[in-house]
Amino acid sequence: MQPIVDRAPPPTDDDRYRLLVEAIHDYALYMLSPEGLVTSWNPGAQRFKGYSASEIVGQHFSRFYTPEDRAAGLPQRALETSLRDGTFESEGWRLRKDGTRFWTHVVIDPIRTSSGQLLGFAKITRDLTERKQRDDELKRSEEKFRLLVQGVTDYAIYFLSPEGLVTNWNQGAQRIKGYKPEEIIGQHFSRFYTEEDRADSVPERVLKVALAEGRFEREGWRLRKDGTRFWAHVVIDPIYDDGVHIGFAKITRDISDRLKIQQELEAAREALFQSQKMEAIGQLTGGVAHDFNNLLMAVLGSLELVRKRMTDDPRVMPLIDNAMQAAQRGAALTQRMLAFARRQELDLQPIDLSDLMLGMSEMLQRSLGPEIFIDTRFPPDLEKVQADANQMEMALLNLALNARDAMPKGGLLMISAQTQTIDTKHATGLPAGRYVCLTVADSGEGMEEDTLQHAMEPFFTTKGVGKGTGLGLPMVLGLAEQSGGKLLLKSRRGEGTVAELWLPVALASAAPESSDSANTAEAPARRLVVMAVDDDALVLMNTVEMLEELGHKVLQASCAQQALETIQQHPSIDLLITDQAMPQMTGVQLAEVVSRDRPTLPVILATGYGELPASAGRKILRLAKPFSEKDLARTIYMALRDGDRST
């Protein structure tokens, strides 16, 4: 017989629902009466609200709301909304038993009988505090990032849609590009590019490069709202969200100032290079001119002596004259080279440019031809300039001939002058003071910018082979700078050329030194014993021949040391003529050594260079190479005259 066992009755549906609700701990599941009183309470409600069932059942659910929500009637509105709409759902702050707040997601649904009678409300609450904290932290981070981006004013930082439309805009973008957010958001970013870049589809290509390579970085011209250009450094990065491309981040920086500094630095480097190159060419040119002067000295001196000693043979004399003219043209060329090298001899005197122009006007018109009309404009009160009259005539002639060559079909040549007071910021770069600007302007073809940049370089010419030496403008430049002035060229293709020769105004006290017999080749009354020194045998031979032709006894030496030995052996020497550029000891150094024992001995320095060294004494006279017998005689006369005065 089987024992009788008590069996529990099977659970009803109500029991199952109760067990389900009691087993949920992550949600507060409880019921409210139609008036809002708590009628049931599950473990989940107790866990995150802190009340036990005995403490809360029968209490009004509004105690879970914050004081401000209760004052605003939110609990009652929640029930009313649930009744009206069939459900109420929201998120908000709620209170625990200990008074702390937590963020909840709340759903309230009305409970009715099958006949529609309201039994109460089912309320489900979930604690979302952690999610709320994460969301708030994310929002704070996003806000900080937004403030950071908006606060940057040195960079344009903004986003583009995948199609290239601007989606936001920071203050830096507004400052650099000039657009307000409402003016540019929604517009395509290609409007920042130049017309030529847009025509070349550059904006579309940069987005493709950014997508393909993960980044695009470049420098280039961009446009502001007002149409002005600025040099920009641009970075574009593609932006992805969970692997989906959602747009581009674009950062633009205005680096126009940096570009300007780079350009100025490059210009300074180029100017330094040009200066060094010109200095090197000047040194080379001066050296070549010096050596060439020695050769011309031998040629001209020999021709002059041969011509004096020959009979008037009608077949030979024209040939000698022709050779002498060719040598003199060579001497003129060396003068141009020395002028460029700043080594020519200048006799700086106060010059009236009006008188100078008047004196050479006829010669100038013949040189230019009838097709060129010369218009001169010189004010009557024009101040005098400090310059060399002969070199000024040559400079003015050079400028006029250049103008003529620029007007092959004829035209107008305007020569004018005016006195100006300039400051240190003047385009010439000259020291502040009073200057006369001599302007030579033509109506010719003008020059391209590249030609203008090289026009004053030595040996640069556009006249074709055999039609120009390329030393005309460098000679004028050398004259101007050696005189304390400047040469400026201004030209545009098709608009002619203007040459401005700036020269310092002559001081009121400056006046030409009186020179009795300066142009007279007088020979001394007595026969002299002359010491001639030159390391160039050809020049020395010609100097000796000229001195003997003038009736003097000549002792010769090919170096300074040999000359010193000869002078010690011959105390009767009346005059020393020496070259300057000699190895081991220069002419000036030789004169200094000689003056220790013979302080009254006259010294003539024969040289192709224009300036004597600072150490040269006042008793040393300069004789410019190449010199003629007449030049030599005149200089000897002046040396002896000055020597007599000093004694």
| CATH no. of 152-254 | 3.30.450.20
Task: Answer yes or no: is pLDDT of 191 > 80.
Answer: yes
Split at pLDDT 50, 70, 90, the class of 226 is very high
Residue 377, CA distances (Å) to 358, 381, 383, 388, 417 in order: 11, 12, 14, 21, 7
Residue ranges of domains in the chain: 13-133, 152-254, 267-340, 349-504, 529-646
pLDDT at residue 323, as a whole number: 75
Split at pLDDT 50, 70, 90, the class of 409 is confident
pLDDT at residue 467, as a whole number: 47
Residues paired with 103 in a beta bridge: 93
Split at pLDDT 50, 70, 90, the class of 417 is very high
Task: Answer yes or no: is pLDDT of 466 > 50.
Answer: no
pLDDT at residue 201, as a whole number: 92
Split at pLDDT 50, 70, 90, the class of 137 is confident
Find, among 161, 164, 226, the residue nearest to 201 by Cα.
164
Helix, strand, coil proportions of the chain in percent (round to 5)? 45, 25, 35
Split at pLDDT 50, 70, 90, the class of 618 is low
**pLDDT tens figures, 239-263:** 998 889 999 989 899 988 888 888 8
Taking residue 366's Cβ as centre, other Cβ atoms within 10 Å add up to 9
Average pLDDT, rounded, for the chain: 81
Task: Answer yes or no: is pLDDT of 236 > 90.
Answer: yes
Which residue has better confidence, 411 or 607? 411
pLDDT at residue 279, as a whole number: 58
Q: Where are the alpha helices (DSSP H) in 8-125?
A: 13-23, 43-49, 53-56, 67-71, 74-85
Find, among 441, 437, 419, 438, the residue nearest to 375 by Cα.
441
**CATH homologous superfamily of 13-133:** PAS domain (3.30.450.20)
pLDDT at residue 556, as a whole number: 93
Which CATH number fits the domain 529-646, given the four candidates 3.40.109.10, 3.40.50.2300, 3.30.420.40, 3.30.70.2500?
3.40.50.2300
Q: What is the dihedral of CA 612, 614, 617, 621, to 10 degrees?
A: 10
Task: Answer yes or no: is pLDDT of 193 > 90.
Answer: yes
pLDDT (mean) for 266-275: 70
Angle at 325 between CA 323 and CA 328, to 5 degrees: 110
Split at pLDDT 50, 70, 90, the class of 330 is low
In whole angstroms, give the CA distance from residue 476 to residue 392.
Answer: 8
**pLDDT tens figures, 37-88:** 999 888 888 888 889 989 999 999 999 999 999 999 999 999 999 999 999 9
Task: Answer yes or no: is pLDDT of 511 > 80.
Answer: no
Task: Answer yes or no: is pLDDT of 10 > 90.
Answer: no
pLDDT at residue 14, as a whole number: 52
Q: Number of C-alpha atoms within 13 angstroms, CB side, residue 260?
A: 5
**pLDDT tens figures, 335-367:** 655 555 445 556 678 889 888 888 888 878 887
Q: Which of 121-135, 306-320, 450-464, 510-524 has the highest mean pLDDT?
A: 121-135
Split at pLDDT 50, 70, 90, the class of 107 is very high
**pLDDT tens figures, 558-617:** 999 999 999 999 989 999 999 888 888 988 899 999 988 888 899 999 886 655 554 555
- The answer to whether 13-133 and 152-254 have equal CATH topology is yes
Split at pLDDT 50, 70, 90, the class of 21 is low
Which CATH number fits the domain 349-504, given the four candidates 3.40.640.10, 3.40.1190.20, 3.30.565.10, 3.30.420.40?
3.30.565.10
pLDDT (mean) for 218-243: 92
pLDDT (mean) for 7-36: 68
Q: Indicate the pTM of the whole model.
A: 0.40
Q: What is the dihedral of CA 569, 575, 580, 583, to 10 degrees?
A: -10
Which has the minimum average pLDDT: 345-349, 425-429, 472-476, 587-591?
A: 345-349
Provide the b/e sequence for 331-358 (b: ≥16 CB within 10 Å).
Answer: bebbbbbbbbbbbbbbebbbbbbeebbe
The share of the chain scoring above pLDDT 90, in percent, equals: 32
| CATH no. of 267-340 | 1.10.287
